Amino acid sequence: VTDITYIRPHEGWLYLAVVVDLFSRKIIGWSMQSRMTKDIVLNALLMAVWRRNPQKQVLVHSDQGSQYTSHEWQSFLKSHGLEGSMSRRGNCHDNAVAESFFQLLKRERIKKKIYGKREEARSVIFDYIEMFYNSKRRHGSSNQ
């Protein structure tokens, strides 16, 4: 499952795209940029493919945002043997796992502090994903 959220430091918007493994509930790919373009989702998916190196076809679920309907996204899926799936229009419940991660991130890290610069927020988000969420935080549905 993949999705995008935004964080607003004083310096301006910071967008975060993630790819969540539905089995482990871990973030296997992520990318942050100051603009919400197709590159942010492609970079997150590239990280996920690099980390997992899937040997058989994998389903990648997203919403119907322009980043996920782009020719480049569709080409990337095809060239890496991935199958795309999209939520029903306007239904955030189809992407509940990613939305749940974003809610935890914002509740546990983002809302506790106002960040001045994007780089400060980026550092905190990196630490949350790689040093806490993926390695220490229990993931209830998978008992990990």
Q: What are the tens digits of pLDDT across the range 88-132? A: 776 667 788 999 999 999 998 888 788 999 999 999 999 999 999
Contact between residue 71 and residue 45 where contact means Cβ atoms under 8 Å apart? no
- pLDDT at position 114: 83
**For residue 142, pLDDT beyond 90:** no
- pLDDT at position 140: 59
- pLDDT at position 137: 75
Q: Is the dihedral of CA 52, 55, 62, 75 positive or negative?
A: positive
Contacts of 54 (CB under 8 A, 6+ apart): 80, 81, 82
Instruction: Say whether pTM exceeds 0.85.
Output: yes
By three-state DSSP, how is residue 42 classified?
Answer: helix
Mean pLDDT in the chain?
A: 91
By three-state DSSP, how is residue 140 classified?
Answer: helix
Q: Match 């089995």 to its residue by tokens.
A: 23
Predicted confidence band of residue 133 (pLDDT cuts 50, 70, 90): very high
- pLDDT at position 139: 60
- The span from the CA of 92 to the CA of 135, in Å, is 27
**For residue 144, pLDDT beyond 60:** no
Return the H-helix or E-strand segment holding 123: helix 118-126
- pLDDT at position 136: 84
